[in-house]
């Protein structure tokens, strides 16, 4: 099991869904960074299900407890340790899953790999709750990124085929951020958000779930960020983003759509704008050769439909080695996308901060 990520900046996530708590240890933060507890709590609240109409009914308040690494409102330079308690734990619905694994969840391979010693109740370490530690890590590094002139924003791009219109996507970063905070979906367009809401409600009513796409953008990056060969900027971002449960795809810039383009269409022509090297288009999504180009970073992640659905499904009994119908009970998100938006944003921020700190060392 590997719970740590990063190089100059490292995050180690700990806890499990139904254990006492979930959180992270963040190492490598420069000393003296301001730590705004109210601001960090607000980021955890963006991820929390409480107050959302379209999320799991598991009522976790996610009140941050910071125990180490902060003094007088600033980082000490030592490891920062923070966590939230798991307060609304109900193990009952997960007992049948010890023998009958949920299709689409980690139950079967996790039990085969770790046996009974790993507590998989509530999804264990495979639960979306583990992303509390990722949001904390990202929120802690934001003042450093801001001081470097880097801003990062993530938003819902589509849910179950309903997309934010192109007009909304051309807003400046601050506009995208403001518009996407206007609704529970995290989508920067009210009409799209309404249609997405209907789609999620319909799926929930029929005992089903839906997925979608989250987009993240970052501006203000210097040219040349990244450590090719293997720690390319896109490779490292993808590595970290794939750690978010339910993420099934990551693309940069035009990504998979570039497969259908000619080279002449896909290349981004260079131009000089007020003495700065820019590209007229940004199909590369701000990364070439694993290095930042100085153009906005643009990435998208695919989030699958929640696997724990209320409909009866086909599974097996692992003890009897026979077919077994399964009805998953317990409390689940009918769509993970809205709650994963801040997670994608903070993971992106964390990786960018790691590379900025690495560059400072080399």
Ligand X SMILES: Cc1cc2nc3c(=O)[nH]c(=O)nc-3n(C[C@H](O)[C@H](O)[C@H](O)COP(=O)(O)O)c2cc1C
Per CB under 6 A, residues contacting ligand X are 56, 105-106, 123, 126-128, 131, 244-246, 304, 306-308, 332-333, 336, 339-340, 343
Nearer to ligand X, 225 or 341 (CB): 341
3-state helix, strand, coil in the chain (%, to 5): 35, 25, 40
- Least separation in angstroms between residue 212's CB and ligand X is 12
Q: What is the full DSSP assignment across 117-133?
A: GS--GGGGGGSGGGHHH
- Least separation in angstroms between residue 58's CB and ligand X is 8
- 301 Cβ contact list (under 8 Å, min separation 6): 213, 214, 216, 241, 244, 247, 249, 250, 340, 344
**DSSP letter (8 states) at residue 259:** G
- Least separation in angstroms between residue 126's CB and ligand X is 3
Nearer to ligand X, 103 or 255 (CB): 103
Nearer to ligand X, 34 or 249 (CB): 249
Q: Please state, as a whole number, how many other Cβ atoms lie within 10 Å of the Cβ of residue 134.
A: 23
Nearer to ligand X, 279 or 306 (CB): 306
Residue nearest to ligand X (CB): 128
C-alpha dihedral (290, 296, 297, 301), degrees to nearest 10: -150
- Least separation in angstroms between residue 219's CB and ligand X is 25
Query: Which residue is listed with tokens 């809205």?
Result: 338
Whether the CB-CB separation of 328 and 309 falls below 8 Å is answered with: yes
- Least separation in angstroms between residue 192's CB and ligand X is 21
- Least separation in angstroms between residue 153's CB and ligand X is 18
Nearer to ligand X, 16 or 307 (CB): 307
Q: By three-state DSSP, how is residue 172 classified?
A: coil
Nearer to ligand X, 226 or 334 (CB): 334
* Cα end-to-end distance, the chain, whole Å: 30
């Amino acid at each position: 099991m590997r719970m740590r990520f990063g190089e100059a900046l490292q995050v180690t996530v700990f806890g499990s869904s139904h254990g006492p708590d979930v959180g992270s240890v963040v190492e490598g933060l420069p000393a003296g960074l301001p730590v705004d507890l109210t601001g960090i709590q607000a980021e955890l609240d963006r991820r929390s299900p409480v107050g959302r109409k379209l999320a799991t009914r598991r009522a976790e308040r996610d009140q941050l407890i910071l125990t180490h690494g902060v003094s007088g409102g600033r980082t000490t330079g030592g490891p920062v340790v923070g966590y939230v308690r798991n307060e609304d734990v109900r193990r009952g619905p997960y007992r049948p899953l010890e023998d009958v694994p949920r299709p689409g969840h980690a139950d079967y391979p996790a039990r085969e790999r770790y046996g009974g010693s790993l507590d998989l109740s509530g999804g264990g370490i495979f639960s979306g709750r583990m992303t509390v530690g990722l949001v904390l890590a990202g929120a802690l590094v934001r003042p450093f990124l801001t001081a470097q002139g880097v801003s990062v924003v993530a938003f819902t791009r589509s849910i179950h085929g309903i997309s934010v219109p192109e007009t909304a996507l051309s807003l400046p970063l601050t506009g995208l951020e403001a518009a996407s905070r206007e609704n529970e979906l995290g989508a920067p367009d009210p009409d799209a958000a309404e249609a997405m809401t209907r789609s999620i409600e319909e799926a929930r009513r029929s005992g089903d779930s839906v997925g979608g796409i989250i987009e993240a953008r970052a501006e203000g990056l210097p040219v040349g960020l990244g450590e090719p060969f293997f720690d390319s900027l896109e490779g490292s971002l993808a590595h970290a983003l794939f750690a978010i449960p339910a993420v099934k795809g990551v693309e940069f810039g035009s990504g998979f759509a570039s497969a259908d383009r000619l080279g002449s269409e896909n290349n981004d022509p260079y131009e000089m704008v007020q003495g700065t090297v820019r590209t007229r288009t940004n199909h590369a999504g701000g990364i070439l050769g694993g290095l930042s180009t100085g153009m906005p970073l643009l990435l998208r992640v695919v989030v699958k439909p929640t696997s724990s659905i209320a409909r009866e499904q086909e599974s097996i009994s692992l003890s009897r080695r026979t077919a077994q119908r399964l009805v998953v009970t317990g409390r689940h998100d009918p769509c993970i996308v809205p709650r994963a938006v801040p997670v994608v944003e903070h993971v992106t921020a964390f990786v960018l901060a790691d590379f900025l700190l690495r560059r400072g060392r080399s």
